[in-house]
Chain A
Amino acid sequence: MIFGVHMSEVKIENLYKIFGKDTDQALALAENGLSRSEIRESTNNTVALNNINLEIEKGEIFVIMGLSGSGKSTLIRCINRLIPPTKGNVLIGEDQIDICKLDNKGLIELRRKMFGMVFQGFGLLPHRTVLENVILGLEIQEANSEEMKEKGSNALKVVGLDGWGESKITELSGGMQQRVGLARGLAVDPEILLMDEPFSALDPLIRQNMQEELLNIQKKMKKTIIFITHDLEEAVKLGDRIAILGDDGKILQVDCPEEILLNPKNEFVARFVKNVDKPNVVKVESILKMPTVTFRPDTSPEDAQSIMKEKNLDYAYAVNDDGTFRGVLTMELASEAITRGASDISDYLDVTKAVYQVSTLGSVLHILITSAYSVPVINESDIFVGYINESDAISILKGRR
């Protein structure tokens, strides 16, 4: 998606996981569409995952979000087969190897080659130093000691623990311990990094730091990250796409964060979304509108005035030849230009503040409220891309959309 080519790194097809003995009957019932509670009543088995279909693309942060008991931890463990699925396919990598069909040797090989994992409870070994913990994965791969040392200290640098290699794990705070866990996951240079509620055990402030750190690391590393959380705000902040796992062990919606927030597909998702701090999530571009007309600075005021009259506009945006934003031409300014006999409108533009399309609504709210016009929007290269108006913004912030 990011590179313009669709390349799925993980493809999950018709995946079922049923806990309990003799799962055949429960599986048949689940395939016939019975609910989790109905199946539990008739067979005593628990359907943890019910017909999961997902395609996770290379280089994206894919967040799987659900409440406790939704089966999200089971789902991430099916991806590297820490839990064997009852039925279905999990295809890994470009070669689309089905991890469910591998023998023990092939499974171990694939895990070494493709996966790193970060755990909720950190999973660090207290008898090892920080560096020794980071290189555990490399040690398992039987890398040579120089390679281990180099990759280990590099990974520590990446997570900001440079110089802590010789410390004991017990000397570190929770946040630092999870940095070690992250470094251990990155040290093996995996194609896919599985993160099972990695920040849930951390204090809110440290959690936020870690989230930002993860985004920074991802900017450089471009790994495929599969991230589990029960916190929708975390999901929205981190995810390129989010899958919402419902109470029934089924995927309810897979979408980018804004789509989830603005167009929840069912009531369950809508209930989640209700309490999210939208101004800090929804981006300017989601309410972006295209003007019916824009002027070049060399347009004559007479032309501009007649076009604006024709289109019934009070004002219009002026854009330079290179596409950058120049200013706003109002009807009054156009008339003034005509009375003064100006040849073009370039000196009669009101220079107003533009906002970036990737900013969040919350961060541009003050501009929206104080501006005399609908606020012009530019992209990262300052090219004018459209405008936003106050009423759209407010209807989103009030949750009407």
Chain B
Amino acid sequence: MIDSFDVPHLPIGEKLVDGIDYLSDNFDFFFDAISMIIENMVDFFDSAMSYFPPVALAAIILFITWRTAKLKVTAFTAVALAMIYSMELWDVTIQTVSLIFVATIIALALGIPMGILKARNNRFELVIEPILDFMQTLPSLSYLIPAVLFFGIGNPPGVIATVIFAMPPAIRLTCLGIDQVSGEMIEVGKAFGATPRQILVKIELPLAMPSIMMGINQAIMLACSMVVIAGFIGAGGLGGVIISGLQRYSLESALEGGMSVVFLAIILDRITKKIGVRYDHNK
């Protein structure tokens, strides 16, 4: 039955490509400007961290882990950093961290306000919900290509792809945090004559903080995994090392790059999680 059906081929893919072409042809200046901003941000973090000798940078990182996550994590971090250094991946790891930072900052700068808007505005929630589903389920490799079409190859499309990948949890968890603030707490604000803005700043956001911190943590974790994939489109850092290792059948360098990514992810996860717990006053 089904075989005999003659389903016409709809040119969905073609139309999407047409659209992408149209945008990249006519909004060149826009994408170039974004490219430039991202490249500059990445360079800034990269050169700021490279400014320190590795030992000094390691000391700073260890101090941060010790202040936030205490002893065990600090010990782990020390070993991990030493291994990254001995594998001669220090500089590329710094590049990766820069990419993660820039992507996470953009993802949060867009994601947290959108999360607030989603909690506030039912119509926006209706629109954004399917888009978030789309962003989270679309195989990550398939939006590398439009990223390349708009931004060429290199760090900017890698960061853009990472932003798209890392943003949904920031939006969803911000929204969840605000939705979970009890009605009575909102009434407290209203009863004392608070404006909607005051209620947001003084009551909703502080009470949503544990959830927002979880969103930040998740965004960073997703950014960690995505910057590696972005190596496929010429983004620098550990992703590049792993991809070129795979392409040259050089298992050693691929494994070493992979391990460094894992170390990085664990360190960033522990630090942000511990900061998150500080905001949870019920514990």
Which residue numbers of A lie inside 8 Å of B, CB to CB?
77, 80, 82, 108-113, 115-117, 119-121, 123, 125-128, 136-137, 139-141, 168-170, 188, 194
CB within 8 Å of A: which of B175-211? 182, 184-185, 187-195, 198, 202-203, 206-207, 209
Can you list 9 pairs linking A and B with CB atoms under 8 Å apart? A108-B195, A112-B193, A117-B191, A125-B185, A125-B202, A126-B207, A128-B206, A140-B192, A140-B194
Q: Does B282 contact A (CB under 8 A)?
A: yes
CB-defined contacts of B190 to chain A, threshold 8 Å: 82, 111
CB-based contact B188/A141 at 8 Å: no
Q: Does B281 contact A (CB under 8 A)?
A: yes
Complex partner residue of A82 from B187, B202, B203, CB under 8 angstroms: B187
Residue of B nearest to A128 (CB): B206
CB-based contact A117/B184 at 8 Å: no
Q: How far is the CB of B36 from chain A (nearest CB, A)?
A: 39
A293 to B200, CA, bound (A): 71
CB-based contact B192/A136 at 8 Å: yes
Residue of B nearest to A188 (CB): B192
CB-based contact A127/B191 at 8 Å: no
Q: How far is the CB of B233 from chain A (nearest CB, A)?
A: 42
Q: How far is the CB of A252 from chain B (nearest CB, A)?
A: 27
Residue of B nearest to A110 (CB): B193
Q: Decide yes or no: A127 and B279 within 8 Å by CB, A136-B202, A139-B202, A140-B198 being known contacts.
A: yes
A115 to B194, CA, bound (A): 12
CB-defined contacts of A108 to chain B, threshold 8 Å: 193-195
CB-based contact B191/A136 at 8 Å: no
Q: How far is the CB of B129 from chain A (nearest CB, A)?
A: 24
A108 to B191, CA, bound (A): 9
A77 to B279, CA, bound (A): 31
- Total number of residue pairs linking A and B with CB closer than 8 Å: 70
CB-defined contacts of A113 to chain B, threshold 8 Å: 193
CB-based contact B206/A123 at 8 Å: no
CB-based contact B187/A111 at 8 Å: no
Q: Decide yes or no: A125 and B207 within 8 Å by CB, A117-B192, A136-B188, A170-B281 being known contacts.
A: yes
CB-based contact A111/B192 at 8 Å: yes
Q: Decide yes or no: A126 and B282 within 8 Å by CB, A82-B191, A140-B202 being known contacts.
A: yes
Residue of A nearest to B185 (CB): A123
Q: Which 10 A-B pairs have the closest CB atoms?
A: A112-B193, A126-B281, A111-B193, A117-B191, A137-B192, A123-B188, A140-B194, A108-B193, A127-B206, A140-B192
User: Binary interface profile of B, 257-283, with partner A (CB < 8 Å = 1, else 0)?
Assistant: 000000000000000000000010110
Q: How far is the CB of A67 from chain B (nearest CB, A)?
A: 21
A170 to B182, CA, bound (A): 17
CB-defined contacts of B184 to chain A, threshold 8 Å: 119-121, 123
Residue of B nearest to A194 (CB): B191
CB-based contact A119/B187 at 8 Å: yes
A115 to B187, CA, bound (A): 13
A80 to B187, CA, bound (A): 10
CB-based contact A117/B188 at 8 Å: yes
A137 to B199, CA, bound (A): 11
Q: How far is the CB of B197 from chain A (nearest CB, A)?
A: 11
Residue of B nearest to A123 (CB): B188
CB-based contact A127/B207 at 8 Å: yes
Q: How far is the CB of A104 from chain B (nearest CB, A)?
A: 9
A80 to B191, CA, bound (A): 7
Q: Decide yes or no: A125 and B193 within 8 Å by CB, A119-B187, A140-B198, A170-B281 being known contacts.
A: no
Complex partner residue of B209 from A82, A119, A127, A168, CB under 8 angstroms: A127
A137 to B202, CA, bound (A): 11
CB-based contact B191/A112 at 8 Å: no
CB-defined contacts of A141 to chain B, threshold 8 Å: 192-193
CB-defined contacts of B193 to chain A, threshold 8 Å: 108-113, 115, 137, 140-141
A188 to B189, CA, bound (A): 13
Residue of A nearest to B281 (CB): A126
CB-defined contacts of B282 to chain A, threshold 8 Å: 126, 170
CB-based contact B191/A125 at 8 Å: no
Q: How far is the CB of B84 from chain A (nearest CB, A)?
A: 36
Q: How far is the CB of A122 from chain B (nearest CB, A)?
A: 9
A89 to B13, CA, bound (A): 62
Q: Decide yes or no: A119 and B188 within 8 Å by CB, A127-B206, A136-B202, A140-B198 being known contacts.
A: yes
Complex partner residue of B203 from A115, A125, A188, CB under 8 angstroms: A125
A188 to B192, CA, bound (A): 9
Residue of A nearest to B199 (CB): A140
Residue of B nearest to A114 (CB): B193
A108 to B196, CA, bound (A): 10
A73 to B14, CA, bound (A): 60
CB-defined contacts of A125 to chain B, threshold 8 Å: 185, 202-203, 206-207
A188 to B195, CA, bound (A): 16
Q: How far is the CB of B22 from chain A (nearest CB, A)?
A: 44
Task: Identify which of B187, B191, B194 gathers the most chain A CB atoms within 10 Å of its CB.
Answer: B191
CB-defined contacts of B281 to chain A, threshold 8 Å: 126-127, 168-170
CB-based contact B192/A112 at 8 Å: yes
A194 to B185, CA, bound (A): 15
Q: How far is the CB of A261 from chain B (nearest CB, A)?
A: 32
Residue of A nearest to B278 (CB): A127
CB-defined contacts of B194 to chain A, threshold 8 Å: 108, 140
CB-defined contacts of B191 to chain A, threshold 8 Å: 80, 82, 111, 115-117, 194
Q: How far is the CB of B214 from chain A (nearest CB, A)?
A: 16
A24 to B206, CA, bound (A): 40
Residue of B nearest to A80 (CB): B191
A123 to B187, CA, bound (A): 9
A110 to B193, CA, bound (A): 8
A216 to B194, CA, bound (A): 30
Residue of A nearest to B192 (CB): A137
Q: How far is the CB of B277 from chain A (nearest CB, A)?
A: 13
CB-defined contacts of A123 to chain B, threshold 8 Å: 184-185, 187-188
Residue of A nearest to B283 (CB): A170
CB-defined contacts of B202 to chain A, threshold 8 Å: 125, 136, 139-140
A109 to B192, CA, bound (A): 10
A168 to B182, CA, bound (A): 20
A119 to B188, CA, bound (A): 8
CB-defined contacts of A110 to chain B, threshold 8 Å: 193
Q: How far is the CB of B9 from chain A (nearest CB, A)?
A: 47
CB-defined contacts of B189 to chain A, threshold 8 Å: 140
